[in-house]
Structure 1
Amino acid sequence: MVLIFVVLGREGGAAIKPFAPETLSLSGINQAAAITLWAMVGFEAACAASGKIENPARNVPRATFLGALLCGVFYFIVCSGIALMLPADQVAKSNAPFELFVATFWSPGPAAFVALFAAISAVGAVNGWVLVQGEVPYEMAQRRLMPRWFGGTARNGVPVRALIIASVLASVLVLANSSRTMGGLFTFMALLTTAVTLWLYLACAVVALKRRIAVPAAVAGLLFGLWSLWGAGLEASGYSFLLMIAGLPVYWWARSEDGAGGDGLAAE
């Protein structure tokens, strides 16, 4: 981000090369909306570990809203700089646009370090999602929304069952699409992740409308969610619907346990 401002200061008021009108389309805009939403998916992840956070009533809302705001501003500045200051065809063909930006306006040497830092950032994001994919099924099992088996923990309190199942399923999904190119795999996984999450957001918007809570925001969220689901495309949206339907047997399993009784949450 610092390099963007340095380049802007050096270039002064140089005009930005206009985009070719023929490269823009309604379908492209719709898909861009879905991918943009993907960048913010999981902003509410701090809520998943609220039971392990000190003073969650204060710290969880702060982490959620301030984190989303700061990330949104950072994403906007960095992505706008890359999109507006580099040729669109080069960005579209690049698997590492941040490295391309630094190599173009600085030199290839520092660009390699930027690529390394991007990889470290990706590993950090994976660590966060590993936490979430364990805590969410665990908390749902505690509330009888998933089978009690998923609430099983190791002796140190880690929800190991949920972690293993979620990691295996995610790995299988990636391997099933390994025939795609790196860029194609990234785009598909981003759209699929967004589409899967949108069903939850849409459900929250419907519940808010039903209970007359923040009606204008709920209407806006519902419309934007439907638009993004459409923009994700038939393939990603279809897979997301199938994944949602696949969760019904798990939910019925949890409901049947409520009738049978028993806790089933013993530590391993």
Structure 2
Amino acid sequence: LFSSISLFGILPPSEVAQSTAPFTDAANQLFGTNTGFFIAIGACISTLGALNVWILVQGQISNSMARDGLLPKSLAFVNKHGSPSTGIILSSSVISVLLLFNSNKGFGDLYSFMVLLTSATSLLFYIAAAFSFLKFSIKSELGFKPSFRNISLSFIGLGFGIWILLGSGKEALIWGGIGVLLGIPIYLFNRKNDR
């Protein structure tokens, strides 16, 4: 957040809006031409690190949900190294299909779409957490109390989550909604089999 705000102190908002690499442009303006190259290298390293984490996280999420009986048991499998390989392969395949469906976009547009889609689907968990916090606070469950602070924090979290979710755009909301809807039959099937 602070990094993004700092851009507006260096570059005019119209230039930031049109730029494909605003941090590189800001570095070039602050430190001279071609210094933005080092910022671009840092961004690439950071992106690769984040990609690595997200690939590992996506396997852990499906693995945890499978162990809790919310997804098929096959996703609870871990290989001899303790890695949830089935979940990683499945989620990477789904992401690859999404990329293929949107391959007519340029790299910048595709990247923006994937960021918005990830934000939209991730926000559902944050909204659910804020709603759960509100519910537990109102009902005095799990050690929470119905205090002004807890209720206020719940509504702030819900409001912010919904605001950002709506800001991710119609296309990301539609694809995210389709993804969630596709998960419901799998969830219901597993619940039925667990009984």
| Band of TM-score, shorter chain | 0.7 to 0.9
Q: Is 1:105 aligned with 2:30? A: yes
Matched residue of 1:109: which SS? coil
Q: Which amino acid aligns with 1:114?
A: I
Alignment of 1:15-164 (within 5 A): 75-76=1-2, 78-164=3-89
Higher relative contact order (CA closer than 8 Å, sequence separation 6+): 1
- 2:188 is aligned to 252
Where does residue 175 of structure 2 map in the other structure? 239
Which residue, 104, 110, 119 being the options, matches 1:179? Answer: 104
Normalization by structure 1: what TM-score?
A: 0.63
Q: Identify the residue that residue 163 of structure 2 maps to in structure 1.
A: 227
In 2, Cα distance between the equivalents of 1:241 and 1:86?
36
Structure 1 runs (4+) deviating above 3 angstroms are none
The aligned residue for residue 140 of structure 2 is: none
Contact 1:134 1:159 in 2 (8 A): yes
**What do residues 167-219 of structure 1 show as CA deviations (whole Å, max 9, x unaligned)?**
11112212322222333223322222121122222222222222224222111
The match for 2:119 is 194
C-alpha contact (below 8 Å) 1:198/1:229 kept by paired residues: yes
Counterpart for residue 42 of structure 1: none
Q: Which moved more, 1:203-212 or 1:137-146?
A: 203-212
Alpha-carbon RMSD across the aligned residues, in angstroms, is: 1.8
**Number of matched residues?**
184
Aligned to 2:93: 168
Deviates more, 1:247-256 or 1:126-135: 247-256
Which consecutive unaligned segments of at least 5 residues does structure 2 have? Answer: 138-143, 145-149
Percent sequence identity is 35
CA distance in 1, matches of 2:30, 2:136: 53
Instruction: Structure 1: give runs of 5+ residues left out of the alignment.
Output: 1-74, 260-268
SS of 2:34's equivalent? helix
Distance 1:233 1:111 in 2: 30
Q: Summarize the Cα distance change of 1:258–1:241 in structure 2 as closer, same or farther, 3 Å threshold.
A: same
* Per-residue CA distance 1:147-174 (angstroms, 9 max, x = gap): 1110112112111100101111112212
Alignment partners' CA distance in 1, 2:100 and 2:186: 23
**Cα distance change on mapping 1:182 and 1:92 into 2, 3 Å:** farther
